[in-house]
Amino acid sequence: MARVNSRPFQISLIASMLALTAILELINRALPLRVPWGMSIDFVAVPVMLVFFILGMRYALAASVGMFAILMIIGFAGFVGAVMKFGATVAMLLVLGALLSTPLRNKPNPASTYKNPLKFGLASALALGARVIVAAFLNYYWALPLFFAMPVEQIIQTFFFGSILGFVAFVGVLNITQGLIDLAVSWVVTFGLGLENRFGPINQQIAPKA
């Protein structure tokens, strides 16, 4: 418990995770990984999710800001890509953190809450839903018009057969796929390696005391 509350440990862990984020982004640029339907996936946000599971919400949000800065500098899609990744990641973090102030939380040991696959599955479903909503909003009102330099209605007519449902489905598939990767990999690393026990229970930094 003392170690996870040690400021040097917290700073060093976040710094290490941000360094890993930069490495993963460089790997993604050099060797892009594509799924069968063509989208590129990455592991850039996984270190941020690891910070959430080990240190809690406040530190994960700080790591998200660091990820944003890194993607601004070396990210393939520059400012637009950095904003989209930041918004999607923070949406999931906020849902995961908020649920730990509900009866879902394991009160004696909050760190073990999401070790339960059923609880994690429920939280993940809600987090993915929030991610899709945020991504759809940002794409519709900002990213797509900026990227294509044309009205969003024209973009939907050209690329989504004039269907807003087609647009939402497209955004949903991409973000659910990427979100599942972020959540699943970070969950396996955290609980598969026993990090929640090694570094002590996540305390009030992740959720208020009951």
The predicted-structure confidence for 152-209, as pLDDT tens digits, reads as follows 999 999 999 889 999 999 999 999 999 999 999 999 999 998 887 777 544 434 443 4
Q: Is residue 206 part of a domain?
A: no
Q: Is residue 204 part of a domain?
A: no
Q: Is residue 38 part of a domain?
A: yes
Predicted local distance difference test score (pLDDT) of residue 112: 80
CA nearest neighbour of 132 among 101, 159, 107, 167: 167
Residue 95: what residue type?
Answer: V
Hey, what are 19's tokens? 């360094």
**For residue 65, pLDDT beyond 90:** yes
CA distance 111 to 201: 5
CA nearest neighbour of 36 among 177, 185, 180: 177
Q: How big is the CA angle at 158 (ends 152 and 163), to the nearest 5 degrees?
A: 75
Per the listing, tokens 């809690």 go with 56
Q: Is residue 209 part of a domain?
A: no
Q: Is residue 210 part of a domain?
A: no
CA nearest neighbour of 107 among 5, 11, 203: 203
Query: What domain range includes position 122?
Result: 7-198
Q: Is residue 90 part of a domain?
A: yes
Distance set, CA 207 to CA 14, 90, 100 (Å):
19, 16, 6
Give the number of domains in the chain: 1
More confident site: 61 or 76: 61
CATH number at 100 reads: 1.10.1760.20
For the entire predicted model, the pTM comes to: 0.88
Q: Is residue 2 part of a domain?
A: no
Q: Is residue 50 part of a domain?
A: yes
Hey, what are 136's tokens? 């759809």
